[in-house]
Amino acid sequence: MNASGLEEPADSRATVRHGDAADARAVAELHALSWRTAYREFVPAEALGDGLAEERGQIWELRLTVDYGEPAATPELLVAELDGEVAGFAYLVPEPDGRVLLDNLHVRPGLTGGGIGHALLTAAREHLAERHPEAELYLEVLCANTRAIAFYEREGGRRTGRQEGVFPGGFVLPEYVYSWPAHATS
């Protein structure tokens, strides 16, 4: 654990911290890069084109500056840093049904497999245990994203559903839902 109570990744030079609006640009750039790398084989090229970075920038600027009204409803950004740069991030969104959506978990391409994803997921679950102790954590992952699926299964996630995900540009791809029960630890 580091001084802020968040997990340190296996690469001891990296740390996980709470993010804020100052992280919007770096998170948006990493988000677009991650999509272009991880999704290039199963997402239409037009969805990963030139407008992706700008679209992600607008989304993250809004997400990180909007007032959600009450702390229990406010999403949480967790940022992994390595050598002063954003190496990964996770974004937790409390849902009206009492669950919490892990809406994003991305690690900079080239740094995957080094423990940063594990540290982000662990920090997300610790945050959940503190702020939403009765909440189930869940996420949606593209069925074709076998690398991410293998990671979530290694991390104790269990497949709890299947659905259709709608992406920018209106295209639809099948997704699995993975869940971790309240208070689950790694």
Which CATH number does the domain housing residue 142 bear? 3.40.630.30
Residue 5 lies in a domain: no
Q: Residue 144 pLDDT > 50, yes or no?
A: yes
Q: Give the chain's mean pLDDT.
A: 86
In a domain, 2, yes or no: no
What pTM, to 2 d.p., does this model score? 0.86
Residue 157 resides in a domain:
yes
In a domain, 40, yes or no: yes
Mean pLDDT (whole number) for 151-173 = 91
In a domain, 91, yes or no: yes
pLDDT of residue 186 exceeding 50, the answer is no
**Structural domain harbouring 58:** 14-180
In a domain, 9, yes or no: no
Question: Is residue 48 assigned to a domain?
Answer: yes
Over range 92-116, report the average pLDDT: 93
- Number of domains, the chain: 1
pLDDT digits (tens, 9 = 90+) for 3-43: 334 444 444 568 999 999 999 999 999 988 887 787 777 87
- SS3 of the chain: the string is CCCCCCCCCCCCCEEEEECCHHHHHHHHHHHHHHHHHHCCCCCCHHHHCCHHHHHHHHHHHHHCCCCCCCHHHCCEEEEEEECCEEEEEEEEEECCCCCEEEEEEEECCCCCCCCHHHHHHHHHHHHHHHHCCCCCEEEEEECCCHHHHHHHHHCCCEEEEEEEEECCCCCEEEEEEEEECCCCCC
- Confidence tier at 59 by pLDDT (50, 70, 90): confident
